[in-house]
Structure 1
Amino acid sequence: MEHIKGGSLKNYVESLSKSGKKHVPVGLALVIARDVASALEELHSKHIMHRDIKSENVLVDLESKKPDGTHVVKLCDFDRAVPLRASLHTCCIAHTGIPPPNVCVGTPRWMAPEVVIYS
């Protein structure tokens, strides 16, 4: 993956906070949401589950723009991504490989409640 000069969404939000701003500009927030959803749609179309969506794993390049004029946004950190097995589609047993099927992974404070309850 190419280098993204802007760094993570987490770092961007922290820098906004330090400068006294309370939120990401609405236009940029919509671009981030759209591009992350697009990345997840692509992964899911290939039957892959990311399993660690969080602000540290969303990269935002505020210096570069795509042909449509929006900023470059990328999803990264696929070390916990796994293939789905549709016949066993629950968080803890939907994947094969390491970690074992009975172990959910991710960042606890970013996990959906139903994932934490059953893991």
Structure 2
Amino acid sequence: MIDDSGEVVGTEGFYIDVTDGLQSDITTETSRILKSRSIIDQAKGVLMVAYGIDDARAFEVLKLSSQLAQVKLATVARQFLDDIRSHGLPPETVRTIDRLLVQTRQSHQK
């Protein structure tokens, strides 16, 4: 609605409040994104330690795998982590991780 001077003074029509539904959609999508990001970060961490590469390079490795498989990045990361969990790490690697974790803890207790 516009008054005689051309100023907008109101509106008319039907009004539907979509805030609850929209907020629910936003919350759901945000949760999904954060979960995917966490999985991708975990997979990058494994690659960074295994190959001695930085965060950006680890992301590129995952991205290339995703593109070659024509699968979403989060799906590749999730499958990679699932495969690592199901195969496990060699006992020697686990012992090394244990030793380094103890050393780290002890270095902070002094």
TM range (shorter): under 0.3
Q: Which has the higher strand share?
A: 1
Q: Which has the higher helix share?
A: 2
TM-score by length of 2: 0.26
Q: Which has the higher contact order (CA 8 A, sep 6+)?
A: 1
TM-score by length of 1: 0.24
